[in-house]
Chains A and B, each alone.
Chain A
């Protein structure tokens, strides 16, 4: 379990990294390395060059304002998770990050790297899709901003060109009168989810549902966010509506069997988690509306 030979460089500026990356068609970028290093060590992938971006200061910042959370390519999951402002502006981020593997992996792994790895069984690509995030990618040719639809084009496949490095992620703030929840079921604590669900529920002043959007982990080829609002006619959270939401979600998803779960079982988890997570997101919305009213009064 040792990688095949490759050369290694650790540029200290983004400009140097982009130049090096453009010049090396068979190179990979090393950020947290939590997916790349095992692939290299098991010789499931081999590369000519490894360009380590961990020495680039400009990629390591987290900026939080009213519009949302902006973070660089070397920001670790654990940094976002422990950032006090992130949870206030977009509580779905920490809610999902708690489910990303184990603390040691979160201490090394980067959220940006996880998103551009584009694994539909990862939590953060789904969060990116559910929140309509924006990814900044750069090359010596210039800078592009990619939305979910632009970014995820296939299983573990993104629209990044061979010379482009993902440099920054923007995840928008949670609007008022919205609540969030995230939950997943895995075989063991911290494992890849058999199914994971994140939801954002919007309510009006009467606590009636105005919108329901859910993101799904491990049941689609590309990270999936689905609008489930139509399952809640009259804005009412009922058992029937929650069941209908699960069935509606399933029409958009493609659960597959593997050694850990059958298709039937994954479908059942989609139903159960849709119900549980939408219910929890609704309760979160009601609680947020209540506390914001109390704050303003």
Chain B
């Protein structure tokens, strides 16, 4: 009897390959290909007066130099605005190569293709560009002041202004017995995957076909963008996703300029061409996220129940808006978290600055939203002198209220914001137990007696996961018994080869070891959207389950015929179909695959058994009506709306009274992502997410100076936490409220770990210090300065 595979912590099948250096990333492909290097703007805002490429033309080993003047047709147009929105009234995108103006330090101005990257970089250094510097806009402040404009034709630097809400907030605030105002700030950070961007292209002149490899989170997105910009039919372009060294959102944004110029060069030169981004380039030319300033006005009753809330925020969108308003829309809607607000109004402005573009990074606007809401909850608790957990509990949506609609708000997918399932009160009980909420007071008093400062913080989130529109699955059983499965979205290390195989094993009855998963290859599955928004398990997992069920139906039909029994009497275990209660009457999946495909020729032993002369009913056609040759199943999953995962993080920190260093004593996570396919993979996602959250809370920020120069464009100065900076142990507890929206009851788990982390740390540090924390991340130096300011404020109060 086969044991159930879903729910088991099966070891990841991809790890043997990935941890022994056998992964194949884009830079490993096509050794000897020509390589591209990019000349990037050293200035944040400037007009380009002239570009002199003459000094490059005679450099030995240089094959091509392109500037904007070399681009033609669609390639000479601005890059696509991928997700238009009616409120994005002033959307702007960059050109593949700067067309007379640069708007951030790092914007691509010219490219060189050479024998290798060394020569290409030598050549890039010889290009002479004359710039006329323009005034630079940096930060939300600079953008709002609008003394200078990023784009001449965008007044006030405002790309978009969007307003949503429900209930009468003004009235609610007026009538509320208690009112508070908060001003908050979150700094810019970035996804910073271990592998940067990378593209390899090969043009086959005989077949008129472009093969393209990209380090991407969306195979179909890159393919469509390249085909459209280069004037190729979609069918002429194959996009194959190799192993990808992390994405975290930054690789959902396509096309990048290099991704269009590499295939252009490959087609022009008739030779394979490669671009591998280096780390400095990643900092100054890939996307960032997070930077927001926020203003909250909240009215609440004496039990801390919110009566009305007005949320205003300003979103630093960088120089262009290729990915539309997704990030601020998510902030504005996911702000509501697990709470039931009778009246809510949100308005945001997306602002242009002369900095790198802002597109989704793991969490995608939610860490900012959760920071804002959870700071509000803590402020309410402090104002009323109430337990912080109780204030939250008093505002929770109750289990019997699902599905729960937040007024008529629309989510990022344009659909109404309706939560499908959840149990937030139980989640809170689990969180309190896990972190030791009840025993904490005694612990703090004990520490205080020893001269130590400790603090506890708690933060709740709800995450809309598994957004549409769809994903597909294709399952093919081969004559050797192997089950080949394809889905179009891509893998960046999540463990899809394992988790999806577990689904196929259960749904089809195949041996787990016989299942082979391929992701992100348009030759195998040309219809797909991509890996983002914690959607892979929900979307492709569901599609693969449905495809497996279709394959199973055919297996049973064929087996019933072959074994001369009713389909209802059959079961499939370990890739063998047998009669229930008579296991000796059986047939293997591979044999059924042979039978499914009658042949004229015998190529090998397996096909010998399948020639039309050896098997089949002579009174029927070899392929019965309504059937197809082969043992396959294909299906798509397209949900009505997103499914909403939830969770609570709690952290206990200790701050050094002298050095203001912040250390983590305990980190606890309870979460609900519905059905767990592989608990070990889910926990791995949580570990990685928390590590990234620790980075966002205590370490990472993009340091732009007033000239728009990024001061810390290296891993020496952009502080991603090492393993020594993240908690050695993360306590995890699962809650399972399956989603009613998909066949397996799955909710997404990919981003959750990073979402409430900054909020939880802010609360814990505030608790330890007794100083209000309004801005994250926070460094020891900043905490020390807060202490100095606080003590001088206390001095002033005492003197007054």
Contacts and interface: CB of A to CB of B under 8 A. Distances in A.
Interface of A: 1-5, 42-43, 185, 187-192, 194, 259-262, 264-265, 268-269, 272
A43 B659 contact: no
Interface stretch (B212-220, B411-419, B617-625, B720-728): B720-728
A259 B699 CA distance: 11
Contacts of A43: 121, 125
A3 B116 CA distance: 12
Nearest to A2: B118
Contact of B659 (A1, A260, A268): A268
B784 interface: yes
A42 to B, nearest CB: 7
A264 B280 contact: no
B659 A272 contact: yes
Q: Among A3, A187, A191, A272, find the residue whose CB has the most chain B CB atoms closer than 10 A.
A: A187
Contact of A187 (B278, B703, B719): B719
Contact of A5 (B118, B717, B725, B784): B118
Given A185-B661, A259-B712, A262-B781, 9 more contacts: A2-B121, A4-B122, A42-B280, A188-B722, A189-B725, A261-B780, A262-B785, A264-B788, A269-B659
B661 A188 contact: no
B725 A188 contact: yes
B784 A259 contact: no
B466 to A, nearest CB: 35
Contacts of A5: 118, 122
Contact of A264 (B279, B658, B711, B784): B784
B444 interface: no
Contacts of B122: 4-5
A103 to B, nearest CB: 12
B721 A265 contact: no
A68 B453 CA distance: 43
Contacts of A191: 716, 719
B148 interface: no
Contacts of A192: 716
Given A1-B279, A43-B125, A259 B788 contact: no
Contacts of B721: 188
A145 B661 CA distance: 42
B692 to A, nearest CB: 15
Contacts, number: 66
A281 B513 CA distance: 60
B779 interface: yes
B12 interface: no
B658 A2 contact: no
A191 B779 CA distance: 15
16 contacts: A1-B280, A2-B117, A4-B121, A4-B122, A5-B122, A185-B659, A185-B661, A187-B779, A189-B724, A191-B716, A261-B779, A264-B788, A265-B784, A268-B659, A268-B784, A272-B658
A66 B117 CA distance: 52
B180 to A, nearest CB: 30
A43 B125 CA distance: 10
Nearest to B117: A2
B695 to A, nearest CB: 10
A261 B660 CA distance: 12
A261 B661 CA distance: 12
A272 B660 CA distance: 11
Nearest to B783: A265
Contacts of A268: 658-659, 784
A265 B785 contact: yes
A43 B40 CA distance: 15
Nearest to B701: A259
B711 A187 contact: no
Q: Among B118, B711, B724, B780, find the residue whose CB has the most chain A CB atoms closer than 10 A.
A: B780
Interface in B279-329: 279-280
Interface string B706-721: 0000011000110101
A187 B699 contact: yes
Contacts of B658: 268, 272
B781 A260 contact: yes
Contacts of B788: 264
Given A1-B278, A42-B280, A259-B712, A265 B781 contact: yes
